[in-house]
Structure 1
Amino acid sequence: MNQPHTEARILVIEDEADIAELLCLHLGDVYSEIVHESDGEAGLARAMAEPWDLLVLDIRLPGIDGLEICRRLRTENQYLPILMLTAKTTELDRVLGLEIGADDYMSKPFSVVELIARVKALMRRASAFGNLHRAGRAKDVIKIADLSIDTSSRNVSQAGETVELTAKEFDLLLHFAKHPNKVFRRSELLDTVWGYGHEGYEHTVNSHINRLRSKIHPGYIVTVWGVGYKMVTTS
């Protein structure tokens, strides 16, 4: 007997027909709606025009490549869990993908079982951060001094002024805000905010925290030398 599908819309942007067919087939066994685009420009337009629960994105695409698609989605402050695929295993590709906001990363050829596991992990993490079908409620607003974080709408303001954050910057800030005064090692932040499989990329945490400090009062997130970072409740 077939198992019921999980309600979710997944967009696959992949130009290799055999890999796209494989992805759509196996993701379609688990999730209710899988849509495929093979061109970068068409894929970006589709990603921005409709609501999605996850994007599976190849890096090398005709038209606009996957890195640029990811960058534009994050620039628009549109939160969408992104799993990037690439035929290359270079350090540069992986670092670039993580730096611009990809949530996870897999190299081709990949195990279908592992891919499904990672997709499920991204879905769980997105749900935990309040990104899947949550209505805004007053109790979803976290206030720390003059900083206000709405976990449902993913809006942040400081002293009444809107603060524009990328999806990953928001996730990082929210994690700190939920655990004020607790010190986190970089490896812990990678595991919790970025997910498993990112060991050795602690510099990604550093760069995101530096960007976050440039957008909110830098005194909110402090460095605990030799350990990591923590959020203090007064700026």
Structure 2
Amino acid sequence: MVSSATPKTRLLLVDDEARLTELLKMELEVEGYEVDVAADGAAGLIQARTEPSPDLIVLDWNLPDFSGVDICQRIRSSSITTPILMLTGHDDVADRVTALDAGVDDYLVKPFSIEELMARLRAMQRRASTFSAATGEGQHPEMLQVGDLVMNTSTRDVSRSGQMIQLSVKEYELLNFLMRGQGKVLERAEIMRGVWGENFYGDDNLLDVYIRYLRQKVESTDRPALIHTVRGVGFILREERQEQTS
């Protein structure tokens, strides 16, 4: 069998279902992953924060002590950017948004096949490498600005007219992508690939949900619109005075 991961790829599996965990650990190790297991959220959080941190995290939504969403939020609050795949029985848009807002990179609805799990993990690794290369220090300016909207990519601070704006992980990544393409019409598929990954399996209605969230946070009645819809194509980030498409 051809391995889909190098032996150095460390994966943390956080799940309290013993039989499933045993099966997944065996399959992942066959594929070349080095697997650590945690049976509850607290243990998973400790292992996620322990150096060296894992390269990937597979996290169940339903845990005996905390929810996977809670654990993901705590991991992200520790400035840990390790890609996280959530295993869940929830499949409606609201739950997917909740997971993505918490900092999850992808989710997989139970029951699932081992082949699909492996494909999701490979896709997350590719996306993490691509996003890191695209936003790495020394390759792009630390400060991005469109009008009075400013993003510091080193601190992940975002402000408009000097007022700080609090963004979720996915809102930040979407705004970052739009700001790097400012003045250019970005197609929906292009945005989805850039923010959610080339092989993201979710509904692209999530893009509309997050565009709405961003507009609510960076625009208001006393501020010119910056995020404009290009009907049938996608979106463009630009100052309103640049008359193009609305």
TM-score bracket, normalised by the shorter chain, equals: 0.7 to 0.9
Residues 154, 170 of structure 1: 8 Å contact kept: no
Match of 1:21 in 2: 22
Which amino acid in structure 2 is aligned with residue 197 of structure 1?
Y
Aligned equivalents of 1:207, 1:2: Cα separation in 2: 39
What SS class does the counterpart of residue 137 from structure 2 fall into? Answer: coil
| Alpha-carbon RMSD | 3.5
Whichever of the two has the greater Rg, that structure is 2
Equivalent pairs, count: 229
The change in CA–CA distance for 1:85 and 1:191 in structure 2 (over 3 A counts) is same
Match of 1:229 in 2: 235
- State the Cα distance separating 1:76 from its structure 2 match: 5.0
- State the Cα distance separating 1:39 from its structure 2 match: 0.7
- State the Cα distance separating 1:59 from its structure 2 match: 1.1
Give structure 1 stretches of 5+ with no counterpart: none
Q: Map 1:1-235 onto structure 2 (within 5 A).
A: 5=6, 7-50=8-51, 51-76=53-78, 78-86=80-88, 88=89, 90-91=91-92, 93-130=95-132, 136-137=137-138, 139-141=140-142, 143-145=144-146, 147-150=150-153, 153=154, 155-158=156-159, 165-186=167-188, 188-195=190-197, 196-199=200-203, 201-202=204-205, 204-213=206-215, 216=218, 219-224=225-230, 227-232=233-238
Aligned equivalents of 2:239, 2:125: Cα separation in 1: 30
Residues 185, 228 of structure 1: 8 Å contact kept: yes
Give structure 2 stretches of 5+ with no counterpart: 242-246
Residues 7, 34 of structure 2: 8 Å contact kept: no
TM-score (norm 2): 0.73
What SS class does the counterpart of residue 57 from structure 1 fall into? Answer: strand
Deviation per residue, 1:64-102 (Å, 9 max, x gap): 01122223334555423221112x254254453234332
Residues 9, 31 of structure 1: 8 Å contact kept: no
TM-score (norm 1): 0.76
Residues 14, 40 of structure 2: 8 Å contact kept: yes
Deviation per residue, 1:144-183 (Å, 9 max, x gap): 3462443xx4634547887654322232122213322233
